[in-house]
Structure 1
Amino acid sequence: MHTRFASFTRNGQAGYGIIAETGVIDLSARFGTDYPTLQSVVEAGALHRLEEASRGLQPDFPVSEITYEIPLLTPEKLICVGVNFPDRNEEYKDGQQAPSNPSLFIRFPRSFTGHDRPLIRPPESPQLDYEGEIVIVIGKGGRRIAEADALDHIAALTLCNEGTIRDWVRHAKFNVTQGKNFDRTGSIGPWLVPYRDESQLADIRLVTRVNGEVRQEDRTSRMIFSFRKIINYISTFTTLVPGDVIVTGTPTGAGARFDPPVWLKPGDVIEVEADGIGILRNTVADEGTA
């Protein structure tokens, strides 16, 4: 089983550790002096070191005692890839072939919440939608990274429900920033799985379920822009640094594509699942009631 590194809050204290089968191995209690947060572990390139150091350790407390946070709380950059699956491109019905370069936009960390916590529907719009995605976390920085070397720059994988307020991505002439950044409308987690080799990424099955119904399903082998290309392209214009988060695109099947559209509502349960990573689960609550 893959090692699962999580950031959490317990008894009002922030921490991080390994989610084992029988509980949480508290790494912040053991290594917090050297690495105060999981982000500092990633930035120091120490995920594998702590993985080795934790072998044989027994859990310190049950998972039921923690509240999951997003794994990396303060990344320098959180960059999302737009249309990146063939059927998703066809949804636009504009007759255009798949683009030659990825569409990108920025999200802020506070637009996300952790695993098993509610996505927040704001009073400004009922059009809260889901998008299940694979996330890559940068472990080795660089600029103009060659595609051949790109995967060497990945530290870990996780999942994202890239929740979107649909009518707010159409508020202006050409950007989506507003609809992508309402506080706690998306989620990341539950944990980081350390990256080892390309087999982890080559053909991941990615599924999103709403109330148990499969809404999205595709495989990373069908992505328009590969993980290599995404890293190469982004690093052309900005220097990637350890701890940067890249959300790599969602398959077809979001609620906006139903006729009529089907928006998320309080009480819904959304699960994003991917081979070798796990399940990211969230409910929905209205702002002010969560």
Structure 2
Amino acid sequence: MRLLSFGLNGVLHAGAWVAEGIVDLSARMEGASVREILESGRLAEAEALAARVPADHAHDAVEHALPIPDPEKIYCVGVNYMNRNEEYKDGSEAPKYPSLFVRNPLSFSPHGQAILVPPESEQLDYEGEIVLVIGKAGRRIPQSAAMDHVAGFTVMNEGTIRDWVRHGKFNVTPGKNWDRSGGLGPWIETAPEGVDIHDMRVETRVNGELRQSDTTASMAFPFERIIEYVSSFATLLPGDLIATGTPTGAGARFDPPKWLVEGDVVEVTVEGVGSLRNPVEKERPREA
């Protein structure tokens, strides 16, 4: 099932994207949001509704919101594809543990909406990623049970302001949390069909040009190990998101670098999940 959040007349709804349109799950589940559906263990009920009731809205009649507008935690894994470690050309060995940082929800735009180049920097870069959506709470989760805690997958452009990543010696947070610098969506795919999650392809295109392409077989840390590691120190809750890293080919690695500029369109596609598409605009701050 493709589970999504969407706006209708200024109100957020949970829905299921089906061939004929969108089933309004909130209207049939006491106003529940996507996060509340996961928290209450009603995902199977939502899937059953999506399979048997007619669509309520046409696909183009609603506006995408972030799949989970209010996640409690968004963790991101850095340098997780092995050729990215080589891309740094620093002679370092393969990592023993995942590198982690956090993002906030306001740093993302939904599918179809613009990501922004801020006036303080021209170095907006793209990073296509597969995102795990936690569906069941857990702490110290063993790898053997890790995927039991995953409700599904979504797609991220983990947009980065490169020069702000380097302002502090050990701190990437500023460059990773600019308002609307990344994209997230368009939905949560709860059951990717015909896909081996350990060889799942992610691709990024800018204006139709393929920039990134690799599969999860190249990951230093597979999904199960990431969940085991993160849940060692933090309780994972329904609706939490874990972005699992980006392949080689980000704009910073070209000579000269290929930063995103106004008018560009970035599309990230994850096999069996879907495609996230965001245009690029300049941020135009409001006058005080």
Gaps of 5+ in 2: none
Aligned-residue CA RMSD in angstroms?
1.7
Give the conservation status (yes or no) of the 8 Å contact 1:151–1:198.
no
Q: 1:252 aligns with which of 243, 248, 252?
A: 248
Give the conservation status (yes or no) of the 8 Å contact 2:201–2:214.
yes
Partner residue, 1:15 = 13
Partner residue, 2:94 = 98
> How many residues are aligned here?
286
What is the alpha-carbon distance in structure 2 between the residues aligned to residue 215 and residue 133 of structure 1?
13
Deviation, structure 1 residue 143: 1.3
Q: Deviations over 1:197-234 (max 9, x none)?
A: 99551211111000001000000111110100000001
What is the alpha-carbon distance in structure 1 between the residues aligned to residue 94 and residue 39 of structure 2?
35
Partner residue, 1:140 = 136
Give the conservation status (yes or no) of the 8 Å contact 2:161–2:178.
yes
What is the alpha-carbon distance in structure 2 between the residues aligned to residue 245 and residue 159 of structure 1?
11
Deviation, structure 1 residue 13: 1.7
What is the alpha-carbon distance in structure 2 between the residues aligned to residue 265 and residue 231 of structure 1?
35
Deviation, structure 1 residue 173: 1.3
Q: Which runs of 4+ in 1 moved over 6 A?
A: none
Q: 2:184 aligns with which of 188, 191, 203?
A: 188
Between stretches 56-65 and 207-216, larger displacement belongs to 56-65
State the one-letter code of the partner of 1:23: G
Question: SS in structure 1 opposite 2:156?
Answer: strand
1:161/1:141 CA distance change after superposition, 3 Å:
same
What is the alpha-carbon distance in structure 2 between the residues aligned to residue 203 and residue 196 of structure 1?
13
What is the alpha-carbon distance in structure 2 between the residues aligned to residue 197 and residue 143 of structure 1?
28
What is the alpha-carbon distance in structure 1 between the residues aligned to residue 27 and residue 181 of structure 2?
31
What is the alpha-carbon distance in structure 2 between the residues aligned to residue 16 and residue 153 of structure 1?
21
1:59/1:65 CA distance change after superposition, 3 Å:
same
1:239/1:274 CA distance change after superposition, 3 Å:
same
Q: Deviations over 1:17-72 (max 9, x none)?
A: 11122211111111134x2x111111122222211123222111211121111111
Partner residue, 2:121 = 125
Between stretches 193-202 and 216-225, larger displacement belongs to 193-202
What is the alpha-carbon distance in structure 2 between the residues aligned to residue 252 and residue 219 of structure 1?
11
Partner residue, 1:26 = 24
Question: SS in structure 2 opposite 1:55?
Answer: helix
Partner residue, 1:114 = 110
Give the conservation status (yes or no) of the 8 Å contact 1:146–1:232.
yes
State the one-letter code of the partner of 1:190: P
Gaps of 5+ in 1: none
Identity across matched positions, percent = 52
What is the alpha-carbon distance in structure 2 between the residues aligned to residue 283 and residue 71 of structure 1?
18
Q: How does 1:71-90 map to 2 (within 5 A)?
A: 71-90=67-86
Is 1:69 equivalent to 2:90 in the alignment? no
Is 1:228 equivalent to 2:224 in the alignment? yes
Q: 1:41 aligns with which of 33, 37, 58?
A: 37
Q: 1:205 aligns with which of 189, 192, 201?
A: 201
Give the conservation status (yes or no) of the 8 Å contact 1:47–1:194.
no
Partner residue, 1:215 = 211
Q: Deviations over 1:143-196 (max 9, x none)?
A: 111111111111111010000000000011111000000001111110011147
Question: SS in structure 2 opposite 1:54?
Answer: helix
Deviation, structure 1 residue 263: 0.4
1:198/1:192 CA distance change after superposition, 3 Å:
same
What is the alpha-carbon distance in structure 1 between the residues aligned to residue 196 and residue 151 of structure 2?
12
What is the alpha-carbon distance in structure 2 between the residues aligned to residue 257 and residue 196 of structure 1?
31
What is the alpha-carbon distance in structure 1 between the residues aligned to residue 19 and residue 225 of structure 2?
35
Q: Deviations over 1:220-276 (max 9, x none)?
A: 111110100000001111111111100000000000000000100111111100111
What is the alpha-carbon distance in structure 2 between the residues aligned to residue 60 and residue 248 of structure 1?
34
Q: 1:169 aligns with which of 147, 162, 165?
A: 165
State the one-letter code of the partner of 2:173: T
State the one-letter code of the partner of 1:59: A
Q: How does 1:153-164 map to 2 (within 5 A)?
A: 153-164=149-160
Question: SS in structure 2 opposite 1:224?
Answer: coil
